Structure 1
Amino acid sequence: MLVEIPIIQKMVLYFGNPSLTFSIILFSILLSSGLGSLISGNKYVKRFTDNSYYYLLFTAITILIIGFSLNKIIEITNDYVMMQKMVIGFLIILPMGILMGIPFPTGISKLKNIYKEEDILPLMWGANGIFSVIGSLLAVALSIKFGFNSTIYIGAMIYLFLLFYIGVFL
């Protein structure tokens, strides 16, 4: 949420209408993260995600690239017609959404393997919901205090923190 919400806010000026922007970006996020979930079962993707270190690094780098280039992309393509802008908006979200969609089913599979006897999945679904709400509120607060770009970078830094955490503690 620290990445998605600032991108939605930044794209409002690009598309010129908050409702249209929300629809386009939400569609892009849901479709691309759904694609990420779909391909998470692929044997080649599993080899990539089994090594969390590289996966988290690649995701953080992708978010940073999008964060650094978003203003320039908007500036260059601002005069395009709406249909072209919609495609560009989708393509901006696509790589990031795919990468962010992969861990959810992967994590559920790993939890099923670790906690075979215990019924922990409902608890994890609840935790996901709680942290989604907290992330949304935090994204708004950070965007107000530090700006949209900084909030996107903070989202990328969380992936890098997880990278550090895995390297030190796991």
Structure 2
Amino acid sequence: MSFRRSIFQRIGGFDTRLGRNGSKLPISCEETEFSLRLTQAYPQTKLLYAPDAVIEHKVPTDRVTFSYFVLRCFAEGISKARVARMAGAKSLATERNYVLHTLLGGVGRGIADAVTKLDAWAAARAAFIAVGLASTVAGYAWEQLAISLGGQGGEQRAPAQL
């Protein structure tokens, strides 16, 4: 992502309740909350997606494991709950649409291909999507429960191991 410095000067920086900030959990969505705040403060703002942009990331080997995938999805659920608390439940409309159409559609196509084409990889894709979604929902529920119990969120009470 890229923003002009003047935008940060006008609306402030990233909210420290989101992002890694030394947490053992890979909490994220600081750019999502920032973008929501930006478009609320300046409704005429257009955020652009540049699909031709080339971005290179170094991904450590510990982040290409199944356990990291599950942990990252759990943390994404926590992050989405925090964004909803900060920006309102409507802020997750895009995510709900993504779950209902893209993820569930992917599970359905994977199962269909597994059955009709005897494609084991399709079954595996469907299973991975389902596990990731279940882990994300669990993280969201975990954070909502922590909030409803009167806490600031579950960052101090997250499960030690998944």
TM (normalized to structure 1)?
0.32
Name the structure where helix makes up a greater proportion of residues. Answer: 1
Flag the structure with more relative contact order, 1 or 2, with Cα contacts below 8 A and sequence separation at least 6: 1
**TM-score normalised by L of structure 2:** 0.34
